[in-house]
Amino acid sequence: MQAMTTFGSPSRRSGAADTDTGHGLTTYYNGACPVCRTEIQHYQKVDARHDVGLGWHDVSQGNGGLAIFGIAGDAATRRLYAIDDKGQLHAGVDAFIAVWRHLPGYRWIARLIALPGLHAVAVAVYEGILAPLLFQWNRWRRRRHR
């Protein structure tokens, strides 16, 4: 049975080994976005402090394992993604939940946001407001610095 990604399309399995994988989960984030980068750096510190061993890939430096899913360029930087140890793609809020499930101190928020009513609200806010605003702001910043 396949899980659903946060934007409605079925999650897909990877057909090839992903060279950026950590133990169980690799997160794909937009390191060119200061807000995104700061949040991920925090999670990386928690990961390192507790020796969780997650994988982290900055998609502003290349698509990495997302390429096998046909995710590249703007699509890769538009939202958070994660690929688990079964090759399952998680996107948006579901990627955050996947990360939080692995990190001590965040498991409770993963359980909370995964609840059906809260999940729907979180998806609406992330996909309808936060992700588009951060994406547009980051594009504006890149054009301004050219």
Report how far residue 39's alpha carbon sits from residue 49's, in angstroms, rounded to the nearest whole number.
16
Q: Are strands 55-58 and 25-29 parallel, antiparallel or unpaired?
A: parallel
- Note the CATH number of domain 25-144: 3.40.30
DSSP assignment of 83-116: EETT-BEEETHHHHHHHHHHSTTTHHHHHHHTSH
Q: 99: which 2 tokens?
A: 């990360």
| Average pLDDT, consecutive stretches of 10 residues, N- to C-terminus, the chain (146 residues) | 33 36 84 94 98 96 92 94 97 98 98 98 97 90 78
Question: What pLDDT was estimated at residue 22?
Answer: 53
Please, how many CA atoms are within 13 Å of residue 142, restricted to the half-sphere of its CB? 13
Q: What is the pLDDT of residue 4?
A: 34
